[in-house]
Amino acid sequence: DAGVIQSPRHEVTEMGQEVTLRCKPISGHNSLFWYRQTMMRGLELLIYFNNNVPIDDSGMPEDRFSAKMPNASFSTLKIQPSEPRDSAVYFCASRTGINQPQHFGDGTRLSIL
Amino acid sequence: QKEVEQDPGPLSVPEGAIVSLNCTYSNSAFQYFMWYRQYSRKGPELLMYTYSSGNKEDGRFTAQVDKSSKYISLFIRDSQPSDSATYLCAMSPTGGGNKLTFGTGTQLKVEL
């Protein structure tokens, strides 16, 4: 089975530009998570969805960040406008149910110049 | 103080050694404990998933949880160069973790 698929793998853009990260969860998984990983802070949960509905977005840094899940097989994380401090690796993860572990994609490495 | 503390390493061991990786935590509500392995430029990969206290073994890997001490360990027997990676502990008060709290990871290098 295909794992969690993220695109793009790498993104380099200038400060102020809009950035859109994409995620396709594992088929049949009903929960989806967005994380950010930095050297200083490690892995931090930004937002998660159950059955396409956002449940907790308390980890989203500020209003410049937004996430959507229009259907069970696709989610986006958008940053507008982007800032250099947003540079990090962004991971998407999914799972089948409440007592099941999360499975991660290989991430998007984002650099804001 | 962070909820989960993990020694960042790096930890360097010779091939065949027994490796011990550890995390301590402060939140007594944590019930589910996980170990993830992360290779360079890849996503975290689930290694071990345990509930409450006790031991769990899977091949060369053993996970140990001591809730009374708020301490978890991952042991790797007969370590191989392919085990070289960063190991992240993660924990949650509920299964699978609506909100997983991660350690910052320990970088392990197994040398020939």
Which contiguous run of DSSP H or E holds residue A51? Answer: none
Nearest CA in chain A to B42: A106
Cβ atoms of A1 and A101 within 8 Å: the answer is no
pLDDT at position B96, please?
53
Mind telling me how many Å the CA of A99 is from chain B's nearest CA? 4
Nearest to B83 by CA among B16, B23, B33, B34: B16
Which residues of chain A make contact with B88, given a CB cutoff of 8 A? 42-43
Question: What residues of chain A lie within 8 A of the CB of B35, using their CB?
Answer: none
Q: Which residue of B has its CA nearest to A106?
A: B43
DSSP state of A25: P
Tokens describing residue B65: 């949880």
Residue A84 burial (CB count, 10 A): 10
Report the pLDDT value the prediction gives residue A39, as an integer from 0 to 100: 86
Kindly determine whether residue B44 and residue A97, on different chains, have CB atoms separated by under 8 Å.
Answer: no
Q: pLDDT band at A1, cuts 50/70/90?
A: low
Q: Give the three-state DSSP class for A30.
A: coil
pLDDT greater than 60 at residue A78 = yes
Start-to-end CA span in chain A (Å): 37
Selecting from A4, A43, A93 the residue whose C-beta is nearest the C-beta of B88 gives A43
Q: What is the pLDDT of residues B21-70, one digit of tens each?
A: 999 999 999 998 999 999 999 999 999 998 888 899 999 999 999 999 99
Cα(A9)–Cα(A7) distance, integer angstroms: 5
Q: What is the pLDDT of residues A12-54, one digit of tens each?
A: 999 999 999 999 999 999 999 999 999 888 899 999 999 999 9
